[in-house]
Structure 1
Amino acid sequence: MPNREQLRGHWNEVKGRLKEHWAQLTEDDLRRAEGSADRLVGVVQQKTGATRSEIERFLDSLFNSGMRDQATETVQQYSDAAQKMAAEASQFARDQAQRLASQSSDYSARVVERARTRPGETLAIAFGLGLAAGAFLFLGRKK
């Protein structure tokens, strides 16, 4: 059976469900029982003739299904947030890859243009890099 805090936290929902289930309950009846599960059961028993166990089962099912619904909703919210974050991360990765590809393409075009406009300078740089690589390999073998 729900405790006092549960009743207070969900009082409007509890009242509505009780009135749906037992139409003869009035707002005044429920106001008398507000905040106490035992008083609530007593008021419902007096007005409807239902047994205590029947009323307690109804209240338990109300809170159990409510908690299950809340848990389902919370899980759905987290799932939606995770999907949104994954989509944003994927879009960010695509944007960065496209930016890098564009920069790489620009750099390649500049290297080709430099080699075309200054072939002597390009050959000298390539020759110097070749010498440096050879010296590095040769010195690395001696040790």
Structure 2
Amino acid sequence: MNNDIVAGKWKQLTGKAKAAWGDLTDDELTKTEGNAERLAGLIQERYGKTRDQAEKEVRDFFDHNR
């Protein structure tokens, strides 16, 4: 998904992101501003996943929530 589109829809998607990654706080999700790299970094850090795993989860999330 185009990063500009994601950033524009991010406020709408934060609820779905919170459901997908419940350990992330609302503040953390807001600060990512829909940036896939930042979100993947948070997921990697919080859940102990590899960078590739986190990036795949984020890609799948954005593709599913177009």
| Structure-2-length-normalised TM-score | 0.71
Q: What displacement does 1:36 show?
A: 1.9
Q: Is the 8 A contact 2:23 2:46 kept in 1?
A: yes
Provide structure 2 residue ranges, at least 5 long, that are not aligned to the other structure. none
Between the two structures, name the one with larger relative contact order (CA 8 Å, sep ≥ 6). Answer: 2
1:7-31 deviations in Å (ceiling 9; x for gaps) = 1221112211010111111012112
Q: Is the 8 A contact 2:39 2:58 kept in 1?
A: no
Q: Which amino acid aligns with 1:23?
A: G
Percent identity between matched residues is 34
Give the structure 1 partner of residue 23 of structure 2: 24
In 2: Cα distance, 1:15 partner to 1:5 partner: 15
| Structure-1-length-normalised TM-score | 0.38
- Answering whether residue 63 of structure 2 is matched by residue 57 of structure 1, we say no
The root-mean-square deviation of aligned C-alpha atoms, in Å, is 1.8
Q: Which has the larger radius of gyration?
A: 1
In 2: Cα distance, 1:9 partner to 1:53 partner: 21
Moved over 3 A (4+): none
- Answering whether residue 4 of structure 2 is matched by residue 5 of structure 1, we say yes
The number of aligned residues is: 62
SS of 1:17's equivalent? helix
Structure having the larger proportion of residues in helix: 1
